Amino acid sequence: MKVKEIKRRLAVKAIWKWGKDEEKVDLVLKERELHEKLNDSPWFAKMLAAWHDVERFYIATVRFKYWLAWI
């Protein structure tokens, strides 16, 4: 198996589960669903993965190359 190095800048959003009621958890899940629907759009960051552990929800997206010019 070959391993290919990919040089990308990623953005990872981490959202604490602690203290969230059902409504706020539902908003996080809707955000993930929205990312899935917009993944083919050239105007939005592409979602690479979404996952969760005991403490947090995570959404990983490709960072726009244009953001570098705005920082």
Instruction: For residue range 6-42, list pLDDT tens digits in order.
Output: 666 788 899 988 888 888 889 989 999 999 999 888 8
d(CA 28, CA 32): 6
Is the separation of the CB atoms in 35 and 59 below 8 Å?
yes
Bridge partners, residue 52, by sequence:
57
Domains of the chain in start order, with CATH, are 10-70 (3.30.200.20)
Q: How far is CA 69 from the centre of its chain?
A: 21
Split at pLDDT 50, 70, 90, the class of 4 is low
State the pLDDT at residue 10: 84
Choice among 16-20, 49-53, 62-66 with the minimum mean pLDDT: 62-66
Give pLDDT, residue 69.
44
Note the pTM of the prediction, 2 decimals. 0.70
Segment holding 1, helix H or strand E: none
Q: Are 36 and 47 in contact (CB under 8 A)?
A: yes
